[in-house]
């Protein structure tokens, strides 16, 4: 279970997140959606403490961490939360000087101190899972965007995190390459991988999410099942947002 309680994030006088409280069950996929600047990516990054909340409480697995203005959070406490998460970034963030399999192995060898052979076996298993076994020795520069993102997903999964966090995983891709990544994430969802996805791509959200959190101006406007949010939302603001997107696209819900 992941639980965020009364999360607030400030940058100086600017309030980016306001009193956010959500629960994310194990084995579920939660999509964070809403207009640009609504706080989706910041909230996602608060879960693994790439952004440290100004106030509130994070409960992840067996760890609970509280935040308050002026309160210093220790590095070890941050690491206990962060090691339970895997992160997939918008722009892949692969190491250009390493092959696909070396990218997946890197964290296992350098951070977790696995023997190289064990790390290679795990990396190969994950590259096979994401359909990239045939590109194990390829350099990132020779891979398409979709292929790079699939390697990035394998890398994020390597240490068996409790939750996979995806920050706009398809936004840098054209529709065809995006479909490759949606297929991989959909398979992970069917296997019971816990995921939180910040996305503008409602096709992705409607296809694989169990639950949706609609954010605007740093506040939660509405939460509910994906089917309800995308078909019969309660809030007028949510209705306007969904109808604007649906005017240009048809979604398979």
pLDDT in tens, 199-252: 988 888 888 999 999 999 999 999 999 999 999 999 999 999 888 765 445 444
- With a pLDDT cut of 70, the percent of the chain lying above it is 96
Separation in Å, CA 121 to CA 95, 124, 127, 155:
20, 5, 10, 13
Q: Kindly report the average pLDDT of the chain as a whole number.
A: 92
Taking only the tens place, the pLDDT of each residue in 132-155 is 999 999 999 999 999 999 999 999
pLDDT of residue 89: 92
pLDDT of residue 1: 79
For residue range 10-21, list pLDDT tens digits in order: 999 999 999 999
Average pLDDT over residues 54-77: 94
Q: Would the pLDDT of 34 be above 80? A: yes
Tell me the domains of the chain and their CATH numbers.
Answer: 22-50+75-84+166-253 (3.40.50.300), 88-160 (no CATH)
Residue 135: its pLDDT value, please? 96
Provide mean pLDDT across the span 26-51: 94
Reduced to 3 states (helix: H, G, I; strand: E, B; else coil), residue 119 is helix
* CA dihedral (61, 86, 28, 54) positive or negative: positive
Tell me the mean pLDDT in the region 186-202. 93
Q: Which residues contact 25 (CB under 8 A, 6 or more apart)?
A: 1, 194
* pTM exceeding the 0.85 threshold for the entire prediction: yes
Q: Tens digits of per-residue pLDDT, 107-134?
A: 999 999 999 999 999 999 999 999 999 9
The yes-or-no verdict on residue 66 having pLDDT over 80 is yes
Residue 50: pLDDT above 90? yes
Looking at residue 215, its pLDDT comes to 95
- Which pLDDT value is given to residue 246? 57
Mean pLDDT of 93-98: 95
The model's confidence at residue 172, banded by pLDDT at 50, 70 and 90, is confident
For residues 179-188, average pLDDT:
92
Read off the pLDDT of each residue in 180-192 and give the average, rounded to a whole number. Answer: 93
Long-range contacts of 146-151 (CB under 8 A, 24+ apart): 146/173, 146/176, 146/177, 146/178, 146/180, 146/181, 147/180, 148/92, 148/94, 149/88, 149/92, 149/173, 149/177, 149/180, 149/181, 150/180, 150/181, 150/184, 151/92, 151/94, 151/100, 151/103, 151/104, 151/127
Q: According to the model, what pLDDT value does residue 204 have?
A: 85
């Amino acid at each position: 279970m992941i639980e965020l309680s009364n999360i607030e994030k400030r940058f100086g006088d600017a309030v980016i997140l306001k009193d956010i409280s959500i629960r994310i069950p194990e084995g579920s996929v939660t999509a964070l959606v809403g207009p640009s600047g609504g706080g989706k990516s910041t909230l996602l990054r608060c879960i693994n403490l790439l952004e440290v909340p100004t106030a509130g409480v994070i409960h992840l697995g067996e760890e609970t961490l509280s935040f308050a203005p002026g309160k210093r959070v220790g590095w070890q406490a941050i690491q206990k939360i962060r090691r339970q998460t895997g992160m997939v970034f918008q722009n892949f963030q692969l190491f250009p000087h390493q092959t696909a399999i070396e990218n997946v192995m890197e964290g296992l060898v350098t951070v977790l101190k696995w023997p190289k052979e064990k790390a290679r076996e795990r990396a190969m298993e994950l590259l096979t899972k994401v359909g990239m076994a045939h590109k194990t020795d390829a350099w990132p520069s020779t891979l398409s965007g979709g292929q790079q993102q699939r390697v990035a997903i394998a890398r994020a999964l390597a240490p068996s995190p409790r939750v996979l966090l995806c920050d706009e995983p398809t936004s840098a891709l054209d529709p065809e390459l995006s479909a490759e990544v949606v297929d991989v994430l959909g398979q992970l969802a069917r296997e019971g991988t816990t995921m939180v996805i910040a996305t503008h791509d409602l096709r992705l959200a409607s296809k694989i999410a169990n639950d949706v959190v609609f954010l605007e101006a740093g506040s939660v406007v509405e939460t509910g099942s994906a089917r309800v949010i995308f078909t019969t939302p309660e809030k007028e603001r949510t209705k306007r947002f969904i109808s604007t997107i649906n005017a240009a696209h048809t979604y398979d819900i």
